[in-house]
Amino acid sequence: MSIKIALVGNPNCGKTTMFNAMTGANQYVGNWPGVTVEKKEGKLRGYPDAVVTDLPGIYSLSPYTLEEVVSRNYIIDEHPDVVVNLVDATNLERNLYLTTQVMEMGIPVVIALNMMDVVKKNGDKIDAVKMSNELGCPVVEVSALKGTGLKELFDKAVEVGNAKTYSGHQHKFAPAVEEALVKIEGLLEGKVPQAQLRWHAVKLFERDDKVQTKFDAATVNSVDEITSACETALDDDSESIITNERYEYITSIIGKIYKKARQGMSVSD
Binding footprint of ligand BGO on the chain (CB under 6 A): 11-17, 57, 114-115, 117-118, 143-145
Please state whether 193 falls in left (phi above 0), alpha (psi between -120 and 50) or beta.
beta
Instruction: Tell me the C-alpha distance between 149 and 197, whole Å.
Output: 34
E strand or H helix at 246: helix 238-257
Q: Minimum distance from CB of 87 to ligand BGO (Å)?
A: 11
Comparing CB distances to ligand BGO, the nearer of 145 and 176 is 145
Contact 211, 204 (CB under 8 A): yes
Q: How far apart are CA 124 and CA 219, in angstroms?
A: 48
In the complex, minimum distance from the CB of residue 18 to ligand BGO, in angstroms, rounded to a whole number:
7
**Which lies closer to ligand BGO via its Cβ, residue 20 or residue 170?**
20
Residue whose beta carbon is closest to ligand BGO: 14
Of the pair 113, 135, the CB lying nearest ligand BGO is at 113
What is the gyration radius of the CA atoms in the chain, in angstroms?
19
Residue 105: CB minimum distance to ligand BGO, A: 20
User: In the complex with ligand BGO, which residue's Cβ is closer, 125 or 164?
Assistant: 125
> How far is the first Cα of the chain from the last one, in angstroms, to the nearest whole number?
59
CB of 119 to ligand BGO, least distance (A): 9
In single-letter form, the type of residue at position 79 comes to: H
Q: Which is nearer to ligand BGO, 9 or 106 (CB)?
A: 9
Query: Taking the C-alpha atoms of 195, 196, 202 and 204 in order, what is their torsion angle to the nearest 10 degrees?
Result: -140
- Least distance (Å) from ligand BGO to the CB of residue 115? 4
